[in-house]
Amino acid sequence: MLQNGRVALASPISSGRYGHLTEKGSFKVLEKERTHYSSMYGKIVDSGGNTIVADADADMPVPAGGKFIPAPMHYFMRFAGADGMHAGYLPGYPASHGCVRMPEQYAIAFFNSVSVGTPVTVYGRTPTGRYLGQLRPTFRRSPNRFGDPRFDPRFAPPPPPWWWR
């Protein structure tokens, strides 16, 4: 996020995966919803609540006794069609259906800082090469965790679990 031409807040993200790329361009925040749920994506669970399909589309068949549970997209800021920015899991590679996921503390900070009508610019490209499902997150040690002097540690994501260190 820029304020007076300077970086005021930066966040690690996970953008749209192959086949569901995040649309690039200039947009505006169209709506904000603190407790948004996807109408298109989620998971399918059986009658006992066990996940049957973790990455389900709403139009997939659901077995008897099961149900479709919409994906939570808290602190949602829609900017283009169904795409928006929201709190979500960051596996270390592009993994969404087009939205821009960020850690919850960043999503809260962005959500509280922008209004409907705030300009949004999406740029860059999705990495190519190996099948993205084969990529593994990497953790590099640096003076600050993202190697960026503008990074504000007050909004730092939690450290990786002890078994990743």
Report the pLDDT value the prediction gives residue 126, as an integer from 0 to 100: 73
* Mean pLDDT across 145-154: 51
Distance CA 103, CA 86 (A): 8
Kindly report the pTM of this predicted structure: 0.72
What share of the chain in percent tops pLDDT 90?
59
Residues sharing a CB contact under 8 Å with residue 76, sequence separation 6 or more, in sequence order:
31, 32, 33, 34, 36, 84, 85, 86
Separation of first and last alpha carbons in the chain: 30
Residue 67: what are its φ and ψ, rounded to 5°? -155, 155
Report the pLDDT value the prediction gives residue 128, as an integer from 0 to 100: 63
Question: Is the pLDDT confidence value at 84 over 70?
Answer: yes
Domain boundaries, the chain: 2-124
Report the range of poorest mean pLDDT among 7-11, 88-92, 106-110, 148-152: 148-152
* Bridging pattern class, strands 2-3 and 6-7: antiparallel
Report the pLDDT value the prediction gives residue 131, as an integer from 0 to 100: 47
CATH classification code of 2-124? 2.40.440.10
